[in-house]
């Protein structure tokens, strides 16, 4: 099952839309390039098991 969520680019501050695979677990992380500035963001997902709300934190890839 997939869902979409927004995150803010750690480099340029623009909002990006990403797909989240809910079947991959309630805590996930991976690298995704910003759709605006193309810089790599490390995304950390936490999915609420009850509501399926998705919280995303991003930081620059080192």
Tokens standing for residue 54:
């998705």
pLDDT digits (tens, 9 = 90+) for 13-62: 999 999 999 889 999 999 999 999 999 999 999 999 999 999 999 999 98
Q: Is 59 helix (H, G, I), strand (E, B) or coil?
A: strand
* Predicted structure pTM score: 0.88
Query: Domain boundaries in the chain?
Result: 2-60
Question: Mapping DSSP to helix (H, G, I), strand (E, B) and coil, where does residue 39 land?
Answer: coil
């Amino acid at each position: 099952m997939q869902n979409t969520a927004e995150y803010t680019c750690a480099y340029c501050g623009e909002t990006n839309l990403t797909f989240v695979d809910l079947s991959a677990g309630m805590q996930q992380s991976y690298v995704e390039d910003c759709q605006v500035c193309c810089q790599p963001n490390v995304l950390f997902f936490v999915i609420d098991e009850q509501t399926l709300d998705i919280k995303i934190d991003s930081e620059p890839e080192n």
